[in-house]
Amino acid sequence: MNTSSGADTEARLIVKGKRQIYRKLKGVFTIGRSSRSDLVIKGNGISRNHAEVRAMDNGQYFVLDVGSRNGTFVNGTRVSGSRLLRSGDLIAIGDCELSFLNSEDLERSAVPTTVTTSETTDVRLEDRLAVTLVSDIRGYTSLSQQHGKAFQTLVAEWFHTVVALVKMNGGVVDKIHGDGILAYWWHHETARHDSVGGALETCDGLITLRDEFAEQLRQELEVDRFEIGIGVHMGMIMLGNLGSGATQAFTAVGDAVNLTFRIEELTKTLGHPVLVSGEVAQHAPEKFTLMDLGEAPIRGRAGNLRLHALQGSLERSRDSLPVLEGADDDEEEKTAPHTLKSFTGT
């Protein structure tokens, strides 16, 4: 296994077709219809913000589906959360097929015809202090059963916007799990308010977007209410790849992550859409108003946890928030670089 630093390795995605296009991978490489993507793809089944490939410090690469409508597939299997990439893996995004090539195969200038996988469990975890955020859609199952594909399509638009908002405020989306999302912000000793502030900015923005999305659902599907719950906590999380062989996923785990899910659950019973732990409240920037709710029992845990509710909404320009996906942005993307107008026979 390649153990060198990600800064010293090079990997590429090859866009398959008669004319192959090679793209170098560094940091977080974004793929989608948006002109802001590192690789802009136009075609059937492509979402504006569709997928990411992330380069890790240990030289590994993971692909992450960021809430696309039609999914991201590796070697024919749909990606749930994230998945470790191995040289020769075929990534399908809509009508587009990409081949992942690592640094060793680049030197040989050949794409392997077989994919070698390991059946052993490879666990690489790193403890880091972070602010974690969990957001959940209320009544998701019932709404999905009542309105079917129409609701699923609109929910995909919701998640696109949530992902954009998290990134705008300096966070990282770890996974989208059915009706919810998990995101985190790294803590830095010299700028703790940046991580807490970024998470709380995201919460505030989500409440504004919730109201807009509720109106959209009312107009298009005659849905009376759209509610979300948000929990935020600060603590040590373990970040790394878990799983066996090619099914390894890069994800955040640990007690702090579990506690964030528990805090979000309490939004249902305590009647506040955004709840944060005392650790978050202690380091919140002054512009945020937090109501001290006292201590509350946490399911599955001994003792109580002090909780605070985010109050009101910041005065902000609507232009400072991402736009809920609606009409196609083809006009914006006509001048975008590296745009693929078709995939087979290019």
Mean per-residue pLDDT, 142-149: 90
pLDDT at 303: 86
35's enclosing H/E stretch is: none
289 close to 312: Cβ distance less than 8 angstroms: yes
Residues 172-229 have pLDDT tens digits of: 888 887 788 999 998 776 555 589 999 999 999 999 999 999 999 999 999 999 999 9
What are all long-range contacts of 21-28, with beta carbons under 8 Å and residues at least 24 apart? 21/338, 21/340, 23/338, 25/53, 25/55, 25/61, 26/55, 27/54, 27/55, 28/52, 28/53, 28/54, 28/55
Mean per-residue pLDDT, 296-301: 89
Summary mean pLDDT of the chain:
78
Mean per-residue pLDDT, 240-250: 55
Confidence of residue 315 (pLDDT cuts 50, 70, 90): low
Lowest average pLDDT, out of 164-168, 261-265, 268-272, goes to 164-168
The pLDDT of residue 115 is above 60 = no
Mean per-residue pLDDT, 143-155: 89
Mean per-residue pLDDT, 131-143: 94
Confidence of residue 248 (pLDDT cuts 50, 70, 90): low
pTM: 0.65
Q: Which of the pair, 231 or 54, is modelled with greater confidence? A: 231
Q: Which of the pair, 72 or 239, is modelled with greater confidence? A: 72
Confidence of residue 41 (pLDDT cuts 50, 70, 90): confident
pLDDT at 282: 93
The residue with tokens 């390649």 is 2
3-state secondary structure of 343: coil
Mean per-residue pLDDT, 65-82: 84
CA distances from 83 to 80, 175, 247 (A): 8, 11, 6
What proportion of the chain, given as a percentage, has pLDDT over 90?
Answer: 35
Q: Which two tokens stand for residue 15?
A: 């866009």
CA torsion through residues 52, 57, 61, 67, sign: negative
Confidence of residue 112 (pLDDT cuts 50, 70, 90): very low
Nearest 5°: phi and psi at 206? -65, -35
Residues 250-260 have pLDDT tens digits of: 577 789 999 99
Residues 102-111 have pLDDT tens digits of: 765 444 433 3
pLDDT at 175: 83
3-state secondary structure of 176: strand
Confidence of residue 345 (pLDDT cuts 50, 70, 90): very low
